[in-house]
Structure 1
Amino acid sequence: MYLPSLFLFSLLVLTPISTALVQDFCVADLSLSNTPSGYPCKKASHVTEKDFVYHGLAAAGNTTNIISAAVTPAFDAQFPGVNGLGVSIARLDLAPGGVIPLHTHPAASEILVVIQGSICAGFISSFDNVIYFKTLFKGDVMVFPQGLLHFQINSGKTPALGFASFGGQNPGLQITDFALFANDFPTELVAKTTFLDVAQIKKLKGVLGGKN
């Protein structure tokens, strides 16, 4: 009685639980609505090799904007083949002086590799708000833990290019500046919760299209 019980215990406790997919892939059916766990799967009979290839990162993004930068995503909505696989990628183009403002990805960690130019990048930990930042050059890689505020700035005098890979098919995005100043968040509440001057808040709302 003792040995079989011990054997059963070892199987239950010591055997690793597999997290592998129960099927090879789940190509996103973009005709259906997205869900918290991803898009529903396209019928296997409708899947082609085109679902696993994406050409959208070949061209540079338009950096003629307020941040002088562009992010071109290849998430599940653009690249159906990554649906359900827990991976995705994006292209970062930064003109001289360009910046990807403080932002978070609530659903995935990120790895950035610099392809061209130099990028000052960093993140803020949730423990004592310690800042970790470094100027990265061609071939350098930096990781940004899931959910933490981070940024990228073109620290050189020429255009910079990087590719960011994510541990999720749709990492999510919230840009702090836009969350505060690009909507109808009442100015008095922004001032109360950020300690910013009302005049400065109204100026930023005017720049980013928010309402006072």
Structure 2
Amino acid sequence: MKPSKFTTALAGLLLGFTLSATAAGPAANDKTTAEATFAGGCFWCMVHPFDQLPGVISVTSGYTGGHTKNPTYPEVSAGGTGHVEAVQIVYDPERVHYEKLLDVFWHNVDPLDGDGQFCDRGSTYRSEIFYHGDEQKRLAELSKAAIEKQLKHTVVTEIRPAVTFYAAEDYHQDYYKKNPLRYKFYRFSCGRDQRLEELWGKN
């Protein structure tokens, strides 16, 4: 059957809308997720605090901040790569704000320790905030100033622009779920929870 003039005109109109949308690129509100990157010592221990937050979509353990491409765990642990153990968070900013992520970050690190975190010593385990964009940088700096005022000490946690993040090996991902007993023993034996309670209280 030969298409009517109306059908032909409608098809042309729809094609025009499609081409216009393609040329303009995706709509601004298509971006429904955001990323946050934090280093706070052993990445095993930084996953669970964020993983349980409503609005957090995923938490990946990995390495960032250094110069070695595609680093392995033995390479990072040995030093010389410049990388730190870190977590990269994908979240829905409509459900959880970056300020909340910052709050969770601070209360799970010792921001006064510049030589590592808890029993893990060395630059691989330093605490850092890697910001994605100017707004995250602004909020991170404000939160750091507030923490310094609260603790009445200089906070040594660095704030740096985010760079390439390399996911760690599979056996490191969701370690607290895969090995709950070992995870709990490690946290306790490392003195992590004891120091966090000393800094921030039981809550």
TM-score (norm 1): 0.26
Q: Counting helix residues as a fraction of each chain, which structure ranks higher?
A: 2
Which has the higher relative contact order, 1 or 2, with Cα contacts under 8 A spaced 6 or more apart? Answer: 2
Q: Counting strand residues as a fraction of each chain, which structure ranks higher?
A: 1
